[in-house]
Amino acid sequence: MLRAVAVGYAAVLAGLIPLAGCSASSQASAAEPSAEARGCASSWLGGELRTASSVELLVAAGDTIPARRWPAYRAMASEVAGCAGVGATITLRPITADSLTELPLFAGEVPSPTGPDAVNPLRYRTDLRSFMSKTGAAFDRLPELERGTTGSDPLGALQAAAGDLRLDGGTSPRVVVAIFNGWQQSRSLNLFRYGQDPSSSTAPALRALRASGALPQLNGADVVIAGLTPGIARMQTSDAQLAELCTFWRSVIAASHGSLKLCAAALPGISQTP
């Protein structure tokens, strides 16, 4: 009878011991929810961000947000937070008239199912929900930031992001996602002149940026631009001008040693009017 109890107890213990080849990392990946479960509806964006160690998220703020576009902009920003890979650092920078000197609104690391979170999947999901809640609260501050200022300086935000990426170092991919209307309207460079090809400003803009030391140094980072505004009467923007805008940004990013992966009105898989 005692031998039978001992055999039964040994069987229970065997059930508690991980099977051979089942490492802590495989347990962690089992606890990690899929990108879709974390709110990533864009498989394209998920593919771009999955292996990135750092994601610089630049989003229009205050009066730089085009009329009626904030719901779409917020949906795209939330998509970036939901699609970034575990362990990635996300830094949210507002695009304003003074983007270069604006401090980030948020910086944090996507929770990774390691340590206590690997042992307790429920704790990991709680940490992940807390992270998404904090990013959402930061997004909600953007419309009221720097109200009443004129102009928009996405180049300044890109330069600030590039500085962060240089400090970050490392060899894994780094990604910059910029969500704005596409126009640079600052004292040093104003792309928006009705009827003028924005790409015609490329050469003088690059000369000025190099001369002043303001050309971003992206060092191989991928760049995604979304939020360009076709069909908005107030912007008087045609599809042809948007294509010319993308030509400008592609040239600037190439000169900055980055790679433009997308330049469009919306992220693939995300409605422009959620």
The C-alpha torsion from 93 through 95 and 101 to 105, rounded to 10°, is -30
Domain of 260? 34-264
Structural domain includes residue 245: yes
How would you classify the pairing of strands 54-60 and 89-95?
Answer: parallel
- Tell me the residue type at 243: A
Q: How far apart are CA 231 and CA 239, in angstroms?
A: 8
Structural domain includes residue 127: yes
Can you count the helices (H) and strands (E) in the chain? Answer: 9, 6
> What local confidence, expressed as pLDDT, does residue 232 receive?
54
> What local confidence, expressed as pLDDT, does residue 147 receive?
83
Is residue 44 within 8 Å of 269, Cβ to Cβ?
A: yes
107 three-class SS: strand
Identify the CATH number of the domain in which residue 47 sits. Answer: 3.40.50
Structural domain includes residue 163: yes
Structural domain includes residue 2: no
Structural domain includes residue 18: no
> What local confidence, expressed as pLDDT, does residue 19 receive?
35
Q: How far apart are CA 39 and CA 262, in angstroms?
A: 21
Residue whose structure tokens are 């490392």: 170
- Neighbouring-strand partners of residue 93: 58
- Neighbouring-strand partners of residue 152: 185
**CA 173 vs CA 47, 189, 216, 226: distances in Å:** 12, 30, 17, 19
- Tell me the residue type at 74: R
CA torsion through residues 202, 207, 212, 218, sign:
positive
Structural domain includes residue 19: no
Residue whose structure tokens are 């908005």: 232
> What local confidence, expressed as pLDDT, does residue 3 receive?
46
> What local confidence, expressed as pLDDT, does residue 79 receive?
95
Q: How many domains does the chain have?
A: 1
Structural domain includes residue 91: yes
Give the pLDDT means over successive 10-residue stretches in the chain (274 positions).
42 38 42 58 93 95 91 95 94 95 95 83 90 96 88 94 81 89 87 77 91 92 90 63 91 96 91 57
> What local confidence, expressed as pLDDT, does residue 127 receive?
92
> What local confidence, expressed as pLDDT, does residue 186 receive?
87
> What local confidence, expressed as pLDDT, does residue 170 receive?
60
Token pair belonging to 26: 């495989």
> What local confidence, expressed as pLDDT, does residue 44 receive?
94
- Neighbouring-strand partners of residue 47: none
Residue 54, phi then psi, degrees to nearest 5: -135, 135
Structural domain includes residue 225: yes
pTM: 0.83
> What local confidence, expressed as pLDDT, does residue 210 receive?
93
